[in-house]
Every structure is written in structure tokens, then in C-alpha cells.
Amino acid sequence: MEKLKPAIESKNISLALAQKMLEAALVKGEELGMPFSIAIVDRVGNIKAFAAMDGAPVLSLEISQNKAFSAATYNRATHEWYDRLKDDPPLLHGIVHTPRLIIFGGGYPIKIDNELIGGVGVSGGHYSHDMQVCQAALEVLNTLE
């Protein structure tokens, strides 16, 4: 009989949490007075929940999803990329062309007890606005028991 580890356990964001984060993001979006697209993906970058505020730019529909995808699949907030790229020209001119990889702010990993369970991505304003909306979504994690 073989003795090998057949499977790796992991956690994925629930729809209940994804919707709660989406709601918090929408409240923040209303407060900022701009129309954002907000995407929540699971641990492997698959779409879990999504909402586009009325008037959200068409391009933001995909960018928000790509930000969430980038954050989850690399386990790194999208705004952290540029600092790692700026003094590394091959990456700066190369990795930025990776399909779906976004290297500016507005995408964050979602973690429970420091374990990756998904990603949130926001697009519609300058990335500094997008980041605020993400942070409002992430604050929901602090309210969990």
C-alpha cells in the first residue's frame, strides 16, 4: 500500500461573505459618488460575486475582475507590483503583458487567519479611489466572529 498525501486542503470564499463584502464596497462607492465595478473571486481567481454601479465605465467591468484575479492568483495586492518592478527592467517591460495581470492599485487578496480564500477588485475611479472601495470591502473581515 502506498503512503502518499493524495490531496491538499484549501479554503474558498463563501457566497455569504462575498456578498457582504460587495455590499460594503457599494456603500463606499455611493459615498465617493463615482460609479465603480466591484468583483469578488475565489482562491483560484474564478468569479464569485459581481456588481456594476449604474454608470460604471464599460472597461471597468473587465478591469475589476482582472484586479481580483491578479490579487488572488498571485496572493499579492495589485498596488504592490510596481515597487517590485520599477528597478527590474525585464519584468517592467515583460511581466506587465501577462494576460489578466494588473499592476496598479485596486485589487487585494482576501484572507482568513492569513490563509488566502479569494480576491477583491474594483475599477471605475483613479486607482486611489478603487483602493478605498476595496478597503471598505476588506473591513468586513474584521467583523467576523
* Residue selected from 1, 33, 87, 114 as contacting its own copies according to rule CB under 8 A: 1
Q: Which three cell numbers stand for residue 29?
A: 462607492
Q: From the centroid of its chain, how far is CA 32?
A: 19
C-beta closer to its own copies: residue 33 or 144: 144
CA distances from residue 9 to 6, 12, 109 in whole angstroms, order as listed: 10, 10, 18
State in angstroms the smallest separation of the CB of 89 from its own copies: 6
C-beta closer to its own copies: residue 96 or 135: 96
Q: Contacts with its own copies in 122-141 (CB under 8 A)? A: 127, 140-141
3-state SS record for 39-78: EEEECCCCEEEEEECCCCCHHHHHHHHHHHHHHHHHCCCH
Question: Is there binding between residue 121 and its own copies (CB under 8 A)?
Answer: no
State in angstroms the smallest separation of the CB of 98 from its own copies: 7
Question: Is there binding between residue 107 and its own copies (CB under 8 A)?
Answer: no
Q: Which three cell numbers stand for residue 54?
A: 449604474
Report the C-alpha gap between 136 and 122 in whole angstroms. 11
State in angstroms the smallest separation of the CB of 102 from its own copies: 6
Q: Contacts with its own copies in 28-87 (CB under 8 A)? A: 44-55, 57-59, 61-63, 70, 72-75, 79, 81-82, 85-86
